[in-house]
Homo-oligomer: A and B are copies of this chain.
Amino acid sequence: MSYFENFMKANKAYVDLHGTQHLPLKPKTKVAILTCMDSRLHVAPALGLALGDAHILRNAGGRATEDMIRSLVISQQQMGTREIVVLHHTDCGAQTFTNDAFAEHIHRELGVDVTGQDFLPFTDIEESVREDMAILKASPLIPDDVEINGGYYDVATGRITQVK
Contacts and interface: CB of A to CB of B under 8 A. Distances in A.
A39 B60 contact: no
A86 B142 CA distance: 28
Mostly helix, strand, loop or mixed at chain A's interface? mixed
Copies in the complex: 2
Interface string A64-97: 0111101101110111000101000001011011
Interface of A: 2-4, 6-11, 13-15, 17-23, 25, 27-32, 37-40, 42, 44-49, 51-60, 65-68, 70-71, 73-75, 77-79, 83, 85, 91, 93-94, 96-97, 102, 105-106, 109-112, 114, 117, 119-120, 140-141, 143, 147, 149, 151, 155-160, 162
CB-CB nearest 10 A-B residue pairs: A10-B48, A18-B158, A67-B67, A60-B71, A27-B39, A4-B149, A7-B47, A37-B55, A60-B74, A58-B58
